[in-house]
Structure 1
Amino acid sequence: MAAAATAAACLLTATAGTAVAQDRSDRPSVPAGEEGLYAPTDLVLAVGRGADATTIAVERSATLTCSPRPSGTHPDAQAACAELKAVDGRFSDLARPTTNAMCTKQWAPVTVFATGVWEGRRVGWSATFANGCTLHAVLAKSAALAF
């Protein structure tokens, strides 16, 4: 049984005809009693100045892991994972404009993006806002995107 667990924790790759085991201990450990398989959720969230997620200068970023338990550098990983679970990982559903925000029409684009894996499926999302005020007005109620 221990050998099977060790084999499951290693990734075998062929190198010059020889099998080499690579330790996968970089994955979060599974709590006792939860040894079954789980769909991974590992995300990188970032925000920066610019209108394109591929070229922005990242100003802030956070990592978020939701399975098997909330963790990462996100300041409130537990609330962020719960919020994403409620919308089945659809980041676009987190944008809820506030009705009382007053922002200028200044064009100083700010882009927020998320990339990674949500419950085993690849995700990529980004949204560009006219300026920081507009970003905060739309995402102020989002625990997942408040990092």
Structure 2
Amino acid sequence: MRHNISRIGVIIATSALAVAGTTAAGAVEAGPVRSAGLYAPSALVLTVGKGDTASVTVQRAVTLSCAPRATGTHPAPGAACSELRSVDGEFGLLARPQSQGNCTRQWDPLVLSATGVWQGRNVSWSATYGNACEMRASLTDGSVFAF
């Protein structure tokens, strides 16, 4: 499934504005995320890109919202939200220590990233893997980035 990159930029910008407050003059101020409802906001943009951290070309991107219920363009939002809840939104805990296993040493880097808000906390996370095999071998469940 391909997504329009400019649409994703609008989603990220909208999320950023929702997280920040504005002054009377219209300047943006950083502040705590507040929710109008009973649930702390959890809205993320997840991407998979080719390249290294210096130059990534986004190949796939989805949105994921986990409160009050799992929604978004993610193909399995319920499973992805459950996996994130199991690690309290700590994306670094989704990966097990990398073992070479049956993966080749081919350098064809992939970058996974997550940007947005998890239960009221700002999230900006990324990880680079040497190739797709290494990425699949290191992800514990794989629901979050299975798109």
Structure 2-normalised TM-score? 0.70
| Structure richer in helix, relative to its length | 2
Supply the RMSD in Å over aligned alpha carbons. 2.7
Partner-residue secondary structure (3-state), 1:122: strand
For 1:91, the equivalent position in structure 2 comes to 91
> Following TM superposition, by how much is the alpha carbon of 1:137 offset from its aligned partner in structure 2, in angstroms?
1.3
Cα distance in structure 1, aligned partners of 2:38 and 2:23: 22
Matches within 5 A, 1:1-147: 36-52=37-53, 55-96=55-96, 101-139=101-139, 141-147=141-147
> Following TM superposition, by how much is the alpha carbon of 1:126 offset from its aligned partner in structure 2, in angstroms?
0.6
Cα distance in structure 1, aligned partners of 2:62 and 2:122: 18
> Following TM superposition, by how much is the alpha carbon of 1:96 offset from its aligned partner in structure 2, in angstroms?
2.5
The change in CA–CA distance for 1:37 and 1:13 in structure 2 (over 3 A counts) is farther
Contact kept, 8 Å, 2:99 with 2:138, in 1: the verdict is no
Q: Which moved more, 1:73-82 or 1:94-103?
A: 94-103
Partner-residue secondary structure (3-state), 1:56: strand
The code of the aligned residue for 2:107 comes to: W
Partner-residue secondary structure (3-state), 2:55: coil
The code of the aligned residue for 1:132 comes to: A
Unaligned runs of 5+ in 2: 1-21, 26-35
Structure 1-normalised TM-score? 0.70
Q: Equivalent pairs: percent with the same residue?
A: 52
Cα distance in structure 1, aligned partners of 2:106 and 2:122: 34
Contact kept, 8 Å, 2:111 with 2:127, in 1: the verdict is yes
